[in-house]
Structure 1
Amino acid sequence: MSLHFQYLGQGLSSQKTMELLQKHCSSNHHNKIADFGAVFDELLESEKYKDLIVSTLEIINLSSDKTLLQPIYSAIQYWMTKLESKEQQIIVDLFLKHIEQINEEAIFKTKIVAQLFNALSSSSLSQNLFLKLLECAKKWNTQQLIISPIISNLKEFLNLWTLSGPEVLKILNAISDLIDPQDQQYVILISEYILRNISTSQEQYIKTFISFQNINQSYLKLCEITQCSNFQVIEKTQLGQLIKLVLAGDLSGASAFLVKEEGYFKSLNLNVEQYLNQTRIAKFIQLSSQKQSYSYQEIADALNIKLEEVEIWVIHAIQSQNVSAQIDQSQQRIFILDNFKKLLAKDDWQNLHKKLSALLTKLKSVQIQ
């Protein structure tokens, strides 16, 4: 479902409106519809849009099937664009109350609420409506209808408003409440957005990072997150120290630190095995820069794994997109084809600086000659 909306009813005439109402309302109400028709054009021509909307919502209630009156709902949403912010707020509240009370399918009601967005001129109004939409979707159990377009266009939605960090978190938490725990990809996207873009407290960052890591299977994603400036908020914490050991491929160091801080990490609901696994991937990437080939036994010893697990761990390392390798089962060897190191430590930067400095010196000497 698109949350953007075309105003199909902006040119709705009084005649068309009356035809729709008379067709889809009981004949017992035709006199009321006729009375409404008598003032419709007058309200429209005098641009009394608030009164027009109020009267139209009242008359819509006469129809037993609101879905047949979609063009009239469209017209109401168009008329709302003509109102000042204060009047829009009044009408939004009235409209939401109307939608809550109508006896229609939840999907139809959710779509009608979503279609209000383009009608609102105020940032605060659209922000509040967005939160209300999330609340309604949860109440009506229509999360799946809106969660995909929201997550897919998360940056665009948040850019609609000028928000502080806490306000963004409020919206993201409201979105997270709609996500089925089984939809792990959505959880990853929300968590990653917070880790990359939102300045939070150390406690909040750790909580989000753990949530992200508990379902994140990508070593590459872990590397990317630690390169974000926001990660600095936890660099000196126990979690930050653990991540440093993980990325260094220090398997014994990470194992010892996890034992030492067992109580703390348990309180965070940290998945110990996952961090050890990512340390193994980092270790293999580290090994790939040292030799062109390794025996299965060498890899097993370095990663502290069983011999029969070597191939699967090499595959995990290749999937991290940091290394390219070939498995030779007949020779029981792993051949390193390439190393695309994407995470540069301090020593890496220093070595790179030395190489560049040496290259510049050579270039200068060539120019002098």
Structure 2
Amino acid sequence: MTEVRYLIFIEQVLITVTDVEGAFNLLLVIILGSAQGQLSTAVQTLVDTLTKTESNKTGLKQKILLNLYNALPGNSPLRYHAFVGLVEVTAQADELDSLYDQLEYIDAWSTKWGLDQSTQRELYSYLFEVLTKAGEDKLAFNFLLKKLTTFAENDKESTVLAKDIVLRAVSMENYYAFEDLLQYKAIQNLKGTEEYELLDVFLNGTLASYQSFASSHSNLIQHSENNIHKMRLLSLASLGSENLSRELKYADIANSLQIPEEEVEMWVIDVIRAGLVEAKLDQLNKTVIVHRSIYRVFGPEQWKKLSTTLSTWKENLNEILTVVGNAKLIAGGALQGGAASAIIVEGDAKVTN
């Protein structure tokens, strides 16, 4: 495909972007008219040349790749190459955020393109890498999870990936959905490993249990200070879920988080900002009232607590309904008595009830 490289070269010479785009559109016609055996090579060569050639004309490259993508049949596996090329040139220009909304369709597209599992994994791995470089750790992490679902339960590679996912989840800033990881069979199969033990600490443990684990697994722990910060927030959320609508003393929070009492307000504000709890500070009485809190794990014990809470609410509502019903009866009787008195006063005659 020397024609492709030649066109990339002359794009420096052609007068306008429209001229260049027109030249490439003619090339697309030639490529799409290629024999079936040559079409894949031609498309890949065009994509590689556009992504690997230095140029500041990002918009032009995007148009050419988008034209290629749209010109290919909707179910063509070659659309995969055009899409990856489009992502690559967009990332090179630091404009990846313009494609974020499109990423939610990746699963549907990969199915429509007829990608095999190996190519699907390549796609998820590529998107993970490019999004990580762009600083979109959470979005990138989702594609690691997608990749994990492409493996069989006992695949050795899935075990390695599952361990990596646990470590990334622990060290990732603002990631708290550890219970969600347990829906993946490959992560469930990690039971008995150090990585699963670490995950369990973040699911059910306290700051003290994390510190104990970290001290004996220094080879496994990364970003320890960040992990301690996360464990303090999770511990505070757990404390809140155990004491909903009850007053929490600053001293109790300080003891649980192993911090000075004067830092409690800062940590309460941080846990609210993280979206883990909704709470109100009472600075005068040095108490915190938690109105809502996440549950780090929602298992049988939490269901039991929820059942107890709902039963209490039901009893309270029944009592309120009884009080309201009695109030209506009393009010109705008072109105009848009042009406009779009015007739007596105004009519100064007999009253029949």
Q: 2: distance between equivalents of 1:196 and 1:95?
A: 29
The alignment's C-alpha RMSD in Å is: 4.0
Asked if the contact 2:121/2:147 (under 8 Å) is kept, the reply is: no
User: Which residue of 212, 215, 228 corresponds with 1:276?
Assistant: 228
Matched, 1:208 2:165: yes
Asked if the contact 1:296/1:307 (under 8 Å) is kept, the reply is: yes
Matched, 1:115 2:67: yes
Asked if the contact 1:322/1:342 (under 8 Å) is kept, the reply is: no
Matched, 1:159 2:108: yes
User: What is the CA-CA distance between 1:192 and the residue it aligns to?
Assistant: 2.4
Q: Deviation string for 1:151-172 (max 9, x for gaps)? A: 4322323432244554333223
Counterpart of 1:294 in structure 2: which amino acid?
A: L
Asked if the contact 1:246/1:276 (under 8 Å) is kept, the reply is: no
Which consecutive unaligned segments of at least 5 residues does structure 1 have? 1-53, 358-369
Asked if the contact 1:117/1:126 (under 8 Å) is kept, the reply is: yes
Matched, 1:296 2:245: no
CA 1:280 to 1:96, structure 2 compared with 1: closer, same or farther past 3 Å?
closer
Matched, 1:217 2:168: no
CA 1:116 to 1:132, structure 2 compared with 1: closer, same or farther past 3 Å?
same
Counterpart of 2:201 in structure 1: which amino acid?
A: L
Partner of 2:200: 244
Q: Deviation string for 1:136-184 (max 9, x for gaps)? A: x39xx83424x33444322323432244554333223333444474x32
Counterpart of 1:92 in structure 2: which amino acid?
A: V
Partner of 1:89: 40
The range that moved more, 295-304 or 77-86, is 77-86
Higher relative contact order (CA 8 A, sep 6+): 1
Secondary structure of the 1:153 match is helix
User: What is the CA-CA distance between 1:99 and the residue it aligns to?
Assistant: 5.3
User: What is the CA-CA distance between 1:300 and the residue it aligns to?
Assistant: 0.2
Q: 1: distance between equivalents of 2:284 and 2:23?
A: 73
User: What is the CA-CA distance between 1:241 and the residue it aligns to?
Assistant: 1.5
Percentage of pairs with the same residue: 18
Q: 1: distance between equivalents of 2:256 and 2:242?
A: 13
User: TM-score under structure 1 normalisation?
Assistant: 0.64
Counterpart of 2:139 in structure 1: which amino acid?
A: L
User: What is the CA-CA distance between 1:301 and the residue it aligns to?
Assistant: 0.7
Secondary structure of the 1:337 match is strand
Partner of 1:168: 120
Counterpart of 1:255 in structure 2: which amino acid?
A: Q
Partner of 1:308: 262
User: What is the CA-CA distance between 1:299 and the residue it aligns to?
Assistant: 0.8
Q: 1: distance between equivalents of 2:287 and 2:223?
A: 31
The range that moved more, 115-124 or 300-309, is 115-124
Partner of 1:128: 81
Partner of 1:192: 142
Which consecutive unaligned segments of at least 5 residues does structure 2 have? 152-157, 312-353
CA 1:345 to 1:233, structure 2 compared with 1: closer, same or farther past 3 Å?
same
Asked if the contact 2:132/2:140 (under 8 Å) is kept, the reply is: no
Asked if the contact 2:280/2:290 (under 8 Å) is kept, the reply is: yes
Asked if the contact 1:195/1:230 (under 8 Å) is kept, the reply is: no
Instruction: Map 1:311-350 onto structure 2 (within 5 A).
Output: 311-341=265-295, 343-349=297-303
User: What is the CA-CA distance between 1:239 and the residue it aligns to?
Assistant: 2.1
CA 1:260 to 1:230, structure 2 compared with 1: closer, same or farther past 3 Å?
same
Asked if the contact 1:248/1:279 (under 8 Å) is kept, the reply is: no
Instruction: Tell me the matched-pair count.
Output: 294
* Greater C-alpha radius of gyration: 2
CA 1:319 to 1:105, structure 2 compared with 1: closer, same or farther past 3 Å?
closer
User: What is the CA-CA distance between 1:256 and the residue it aligns to?
Assistant: 0.8
